[in-house]
């Protein structure tokens, strides 16, 4: 009985790979244009960004190399107008194992928090992510990331250091998938003074996804805390806990057109030396993707909070306003070479522009270049 179940799961996995392998992409531009999370992908759409959420997703990918264009500094938040440079290579050994190496990712780096606490702290930099996955009757995958750095700045008679380490594990088992990602170390020592320190506790991001015939149901738990301890006092402990749940569905309207829908519940609680705060959002998203030509795919989305409330450290609540967001993007395909970008999302001077006009001076932003082989 067990052998028959393993055979069925293996056949199901092969069928899935056959159906989706030719259309797989791996770009932040595609995820943002479809109203998804650009860093670690989608809960229900297949995309290469998903391997940062579930490392087992690596077995769904063809061999490819991807580059995300950008030059923003590590302390600047990665957005479509201030993108970071990153990218990687993914392949297969032909014996059922998939592997990958990715450079420059800032998923879960918390560099913005460090910069806010003290701009002299060394940030996570030159990060390396290693991936390995395979098929053992079910899909499995693992990820390891690490980074370290040191600096002896001019005029400073001490060394500043940073080191970080994390692991991720994931499974694809029939219609279900599960994953857990652990940030085991994130530490910076030395800033304005030699004894200044910023140290992260164990970070956890774990989730379950169930793919039904009509839709996908998902849930995720995320927690992280850290201590900033400057010489002379001040600082303190900060933490966040986020709970996400939702549903998503993709419908094939034709062989060239796809319609997507998702509805989520997102609750986050934050704690800092200034006090407690939090937010509750119920976003709804509609998206589409159309293959207009063999060389041109167009996509877009519209997203809005059905309900959104933020509570500040003074326990005062405010409803989120102007949450409606429209995004658009394209993929230009030249045989195995693909160029992804957001369409007209950045205006002159790099400012984000969703003004209802195409920006002629910066037609495409969040550029990603991929080659499949």
pLDDT per 10-residue tile (average), the chain, 373 residues: 48 38 68 93 92 94 90 84 92 89 94 92 95 93 96 85 97 96 96 94 97 95 96 92 98 95 97 94 97 94 95 89 92 93 66 57 83 90
The pLDDT score that the predictor gives to residue 205 is 98
Q: Supply the pTM of this predicted model.
A: 0.88
The pLDDT score that the predictor gives to residue 19 is 37
Tell me the domain boundaries of the chain.
Answer: 2-372
DSSP one-letter code for 287: E
**What's the topology of domain 2-372?**
Porin (2.40.160)
Work out the angle at residue 120's Cα, subtended by the Cα atoms of residues 116 and 122, and round it to the nearest 5 degrees: 95
The pLDDT score that the predictor gives to residue 3 is 53
The pLDDT score that the predictor gives to residue 11 is 41
The pLDDT score that the predictor gives to residue 314 is 84
Under DSSP, is residue 52 helix (H, G, I), strand (E, B) or coil? helix
Dmax (CA) of the chain: 71
Which residues, 6 or more positions from 171, have their beta carbon under 8 angstroms from its beta carbon? 56, 138, 139, 140, 141, 177, 178, 179
Instruction: Give strand ranges (E) for the chain.
Output: 64-68, 86-92, 97-103, 128-135, 139-151, 160-173, 176-189, 197-200, 203-211, 216-229, 236-252, 257-272, 275-293, 296-311, 317-319, 325-334, 337-343, 364-372
The pLDDT score that the predictor gives to residue 79 is 83
Q: Label residue 272 exposed, middle or buried (CB < 10 Å: 0-12, 13-18, 19+).
A: middle
Pair 259, 248: CB distance under 8 Å: no
Q: Which value, to the nearest 10 degrees, does the dihedral of the CA atoms of residues 74, 77, 82, 83 take?
A: 70
Residues in the chain, how many? 373
């Amino acid at each position: 009985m067990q052998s028959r179940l393993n055979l069925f799961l293996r056949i199901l996995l092969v069928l899935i790979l056959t159906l989706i392998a030719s259309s797989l992409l791996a770009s932040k531009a595609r995820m943002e244009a479809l109203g998804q999370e650009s860093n670690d992908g989608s809960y229900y759409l297949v995309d290469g960004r998903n391997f940062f959420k579930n490392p087992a997703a690596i077995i769904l990918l063809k061999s490819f190399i991807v580059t995300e264009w950008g030059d923003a500094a590590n302390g600047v938040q990665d957005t479509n107008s201030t993108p970071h440079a990153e990218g990687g290579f993914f392949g297969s050994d032909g014996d059922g194992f998939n592997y990958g190496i990715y450079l420059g990712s800032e998923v879960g780096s918390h560099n913005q928090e460090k910069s806010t606490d003290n701009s002299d702290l060394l940030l996570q930099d030159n990060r390396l992510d290693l991936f390995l996955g395979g098929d053992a009757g079910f899909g499995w995958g693992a990820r390891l990331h690490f980074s370290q750095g040191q600096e002896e700045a001019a005029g400073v008679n001490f060394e500043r250091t940073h080191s970080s380490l994390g692991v991720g594990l994931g499974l694809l088992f029939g219609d279900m998938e599960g994953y857990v990602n652990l940030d085991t170390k994130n530490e910076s020592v030395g800033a304005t003074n030699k004894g200044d320190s910023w140290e992260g506790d164990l970070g956890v991001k774990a989730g379950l996804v169930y793919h039904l015939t009509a839709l996908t149901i998902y849930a995720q738990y995320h927690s992280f805390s850290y201590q900033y301890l400057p010489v002379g006092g001040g600082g303190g402990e900060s933490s966040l806990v986020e709970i996400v749940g939702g549903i998503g569905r993709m419908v094939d309207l034709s062989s060239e057109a796809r319609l997507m829908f998702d509805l989520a519940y997102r609750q986050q609680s934050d704690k800092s030396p200034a006090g407690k705060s939090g937010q509750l959002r119920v976003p709804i998203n509609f998206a589409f993707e159309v293959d207009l030509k063999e060389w041109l795919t167009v996509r877009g989305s519209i997203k809005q909070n059905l309900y959104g409330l933020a509570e500040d450290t003074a326990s005062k609540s405010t409803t989120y306003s102007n949450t409606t967001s429209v995004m658009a993007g394209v993929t230009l395909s030249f045989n195995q070479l693909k160029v992804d970008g957001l369409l007209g999302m950045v205006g002159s001077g790099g400012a984000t522009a969703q003004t209802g006009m195409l920006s002629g001076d910066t037609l495409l932003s969040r550029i990603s270049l991929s080659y499949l082989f």
